[in-house]
Amino acid sequence: MLVLCKFTNIHIMKTSKRNYAPIPKTSDKIDIDSLNIHCDNLDLSIAENLNFWLYCKISMRTGLRSIDILKMKVSDINFDDRRVFIIEKKTKKIVEAPISKNILDKIDKTREYVLYNEKYKCNVSLMTINRRLKAVFKDSNINVSSHSIRKACATTIYEKTGNNIIKAMIFLNHSSPTMTSNYLGITKGEKYQLYSLLD
């Protein structure tokens, strides 16, 4: 029996009278090309559009987690070398990633955060980004969130390197190939491809 938790919006599978096992709600991959087209048609003179554009472009360029992009400070960026240096919030690992001049030129160096909410004088919230992304893909029958971009980028890396799971793992900063395989949801598909070798 499937039960919907009213307050947390988490799906829970009832396994017994007293035992409940949570079913994680995962984000689907999105069409990066469609998102790029949408972003390139935004009026960047509007602050909300510029923040969304920056989030998407940085995410598509680096594959960083949403929390690391939203908390990214202008001081984390070396504008001369066009690189960002951060410590991941989740893993505490150091990440160095290139950022294109096109993105850097849109960043206001006088602000503390790269994505800055002028009204509240702080960084942009995850809820704001997720709401915009859902609006972009409202006609798609997929579960979209900020995490969808990272998953789509990692899948692109995996496919363009000839299904090289190690390179995808390095890109995602994962600690094992198994973690990356599960993350990308490729294990089952590749297993079925192996059966064809026996034909």
Judge whether residue 70 has pLDDT over 80: yes
Tell me if the domain spanning 32-145 has CATH number 1.10.10.10.
no
Average pLDDT over residues 125-146: 91
Domain ranges of the chain: 32-145, 161-198
| pLDDT tens digits, 24-43 | 456 777 888 999 999 999 99
Judge whether residue 21 has pLDDT over 60: no
Predicted TM-score of the model (pTM):
0.79
Answer for the pair 23, 12: CB distance below 8 angstroms, yes or no: yes
Name the residue with higher pLDDT: 178 or 68: 68
How far apart (Å, rounded) are the C-alpha atoms in residues 154 and 150?
6
Q: Residue 98 phi/psi, 5° resolution?
A: -75, 150
| pLDDT tens digits, 162-177 | 999 999 999 998 999 9
Average pLDDT over residues 112-136: 94
Please report the pLDDT score of residue 109 as a whole number.
Answer: 95
Classify 124 in phi/psi space as left (phi over 0), alpha (psi -120 to 50) or beta. Answer: beta
How far apart (Å, rounded) are the C-alpha atoms in residues 184 and 143?
15
Question: What's at 115, amino acid-wise?
Answer: L
Helix, strand or coil, per DSSP, at residue 20: strand
